[in-house]
Amino acid sequence: MINLTIFASGGGSNAEAIIQHFNNHPTIQVNLIISNKTTAGVLDRADRHQIKKRVIDRTDFNDPKKMLGYLKETETGLIVLAGFLWLIPAYLVEAFPNKIINIHPALLPKYGGKGMYGQHIHRAVFENKERESGITIHYVNPKYDEGNIILQARCPLQPDDSPEVIGRKVLALEHRFYPVTVEMVAIQSE
């Protein structure tokens, strides 16, 4: 069995899509959700699906012994970032080479880097009058949004699409493509 650990900071709609995708999967399961916020909605999703959860603070996150211990305890084979806003430290990238993936709600390298997430991105896309947006699923390295790209998916934008409309279009792509890409990477990484 390939065990997935999801790192998330928010509501967890991508985590939910991934969890549902792997319900009753013969070889892949989500077995841990880690969040850096005690109020994150993703923790409620973990409870509903009876998935182990852990809330971490910066001290935990920057302690290789602790973090690697949590991941070893659950026999984590792949780490999936689903709206996790902290930069992944080098020790974790080294411990899980090409086994940490992230989804970014823009077509990297555009609109990447520190501070570029969620509505910040969609507002920037709107203000720059982009004709398309989309998602980038990529491997994680020790820099924000600079890992090798696994997949990009695009959606056309209309001139009157607000940042909220752009966000909904991009989220639909995330839910459609992230679970199947996670599955592909998990199988390849075994």
Catalytic residue annotation: 104
Q: Any residues with CB less than 8 A from the CB of 32 and at least 6 apart, and which?
A: 3, 4, 5, 6, 51, 52, 53, 54, 70, 71, 74, 76
Enter the tokens of residue 179: 């679970």
Other beta carbons within 10 angstroms of residue 91's beta carbon come to 15
Other beta carbons within 10 angstroms of residue 171's beta carbon come to 17
- Which residues in 49-73 are b (16+ Cβ under 10 Å) and which e? eebebbebeeeebeeeeebeebbee
For residue 109, say if its preceding peptide bond is cis, omega within 30 degrees of 0.
yes
For helices 41-48 and 13-22, give the axis angle rounded to 10 degrees. 20
